[in-house]
Chains A and B, each alone.
Chain A
Amino acid sequence: MSKRTTAEIYVQERELVLPGQKLARGMKPGGNAFIDESGIVRSAVVGLVSVQSEKIDVIPLSSSYIPRPNDIVLGKVTRITGTTILVDINTPMSGIILIPRGSRRHHGDDKYDLKVGDVVLAKIKSFDNLSSPLLTIDAEGLGKITRGILIKVNSAKIPRIIGKKGSMVNLLSSKSHSEIIVAQNGYVLVNPQNLKSLLAIKKALSKIQEESHVAGLSNRISRLLDEEMSGGS
């Protein structure tokens, strides 16, 4: 809560707000909020209020992915030219991987030896809102994905799927005995132990997306996974 007496807040923490709804007066608009001509802070999206000391944020309940540097993303190779690899990462403009000079991609033993249709795990190197995001696969663990199942999720729900310090994804991974990689652009890559764990993860992911605005999510997901994983295979 703000300590300043001049600030007025019209909503409660975690309240569901709609576009145009009054949030506060005398505070700074944070993410997904804006200030109107009369100085009132209003929400720009459907989301949940998060009151900070000086500003007021709205956490969207649905949104498209906007790239940020250092995000880990999953994408599909759409085009390859002599020096670049274009990757569809679920953004208005395709991501670009620059092929370094001297890469041995024609000899078939290189990270950059990719084909159209390959799925790659990449990191966003830079993005300036105007041109295509620049990606890199030049790090441990990045590059072509050879096994696993891709599940599409709403990118607004990614923070909930990861959880506080990765608590939710760890819960999913340990209870289903599967390897899970969550990419910021709205894809989850699953290497399931068996069919049962895959189905459990799919159910859990859709429950997280549906109920992300309701308190006590971790407990419900934990219970769901226990139910799904126990019983006959």
Chain B
Amino acid sequence: MPIYVEKKPDVLIGEDGTRTDGRSPLDLRPIKIEVGILERADGSALVEWGGNRVLAAVFGPREVHPKHMLLPDRALLRLRYNMAPFSTPERKRPGPDRRSVELSKVIRTALLPAVFIEKYPGSAIDVFVEILRSDAGTRVAGVTAASLALADAGIAMRGLVAGCSVGRVDDFIVVDPNHDEDMWGDVDMPMAVLFEDRKITLLQADGPLTVEQFNECLRLGMACCEMVYELQKEALRRPYVMVERRALGVA
């Protein structure tokens, strides 16, 4: 028997568009990104997005095991999305399940167009996306973190991939739905965009939208992904800029 029972809030969205966490429909949650935080991985990134904590690590290009998976003309890009047992309100049974297999797949295919896999034939690039704390929108936070970890590993890419969700709560189109809106809202539409080409590499939706609503979601989602992209660029530059300042300050 679950000890913890979640309750639907009485009002998901106010008449003036105020959300359960006090945001307006077009506000993102606070996002903090750090790159290169794992010593032992070839590339890594931590994304703190609202209540989400997502850690991505990249190993490779490295030897392919098992050998029969080796691709002679390109790299094998593997991705594992995994939720920590303590990442949810109720303990999550460890190990892959239906949901995490699906998310591993969609995050992988969201990143695949960005990576020059043909530059690393016969090798494996392993990406691990670990959800330390979940609060709706972990897949888009995962894409955002994983693409930074790949860049940090020095793997050749066409560009960075930034993700963001949009959704519908009653008649409001809201960006970056929070946990309550994800659970009890009408639509959640996660998307990921490859910059700077602005090509959509991930698009899912789980509820009814009119054509007008869909177009509005797409427009807002693109704008949000661009905001996330700006944060990604800043985070990727930050360590180098800080070292430069310190080195020149001493000199």
Contact = CB atoms under 8 A, between A and B. Distances in A.
Interface of A: 16, 18-22, 32, 34, 36, 42, 44-46, 60-64, 92-94, 129-130, 156, 210-211, 213-214, 216, 219-220
B63 interface: yes
A219 B248 CA distance: 11
Interface stretch (B101-109, B135-143, B156-164, B171-179): B156-164
A232 B122 CA distance: 51
Specify which of A22, A63, A64, A129 lies most central, judged by the most chain B CB atoms within 10 Å of its CB: A64
A69 B251 CA distance: 39
Given A92-B61, A92-B122, A129-B121, A19 B157 contact: yes
Given A22-B196, A44-B116, A130-B122, A64 B154 contact: yes
Contact of B154 (A18, A60, A216): A60
Looking at chain A's contact residues, is the secondary structure mostly helix, strand, loop, or mixed?
loop
A46 B248 contact: no
A22 B233 CA distance: 13
A19 B151 contact: yes
A130 B244 CA distance: 39
Given A130-B122, A220-B247, A45 B157 contact: yes
Contacts of A62: 42-43, 152-154
A63 B196 CA distance: 22
Contacts of A216: 248, 251
A233 to B, nearest CB: 25
Interface stretch (B6-14, B214-222, B235-243): B235-243
Contacts of B158: 19-20, 34, 36, 42, 44
B63 A94 contact: yes
A16 B240 contact: yes
B247 A211 contact: yes
Contacts of A36: 158, 197
A18 B237 contact: yes
A20 B120 CA distance: 19
A61 B243 CA distance: 13
A20 B233 CA distance: 10
A33 B157 CA distance: 9
Given A18-B151, A63-B154, A211-B247, 14 more contacts: A19-B151, A19-B156, A20-B157, A20-B194, A36-B158, A42-B159, A46-B236, A61-B240, A62-B152, A92-B124, A93-B63, A129-B122, A214-B243, A216-B251
A45 to B, nearest CB: 6
B167 interface: no
A21 B154 CA distance: 15
A61 B239 CA distance: 12
24 contacts: A18-B151, A19-B114, A19-B158, A20-B158, A20-B160, A44-B158, A45-B157, A46-B151, A46-B154, A60-B154, A61-B240, A62-B43, A64-B61, A92-B60, A92-B122, A94-B63, A130-B72, A156-B154, A210-B243, A211-B244, A213-B240, A214-B244, A216-B248, A216-B251
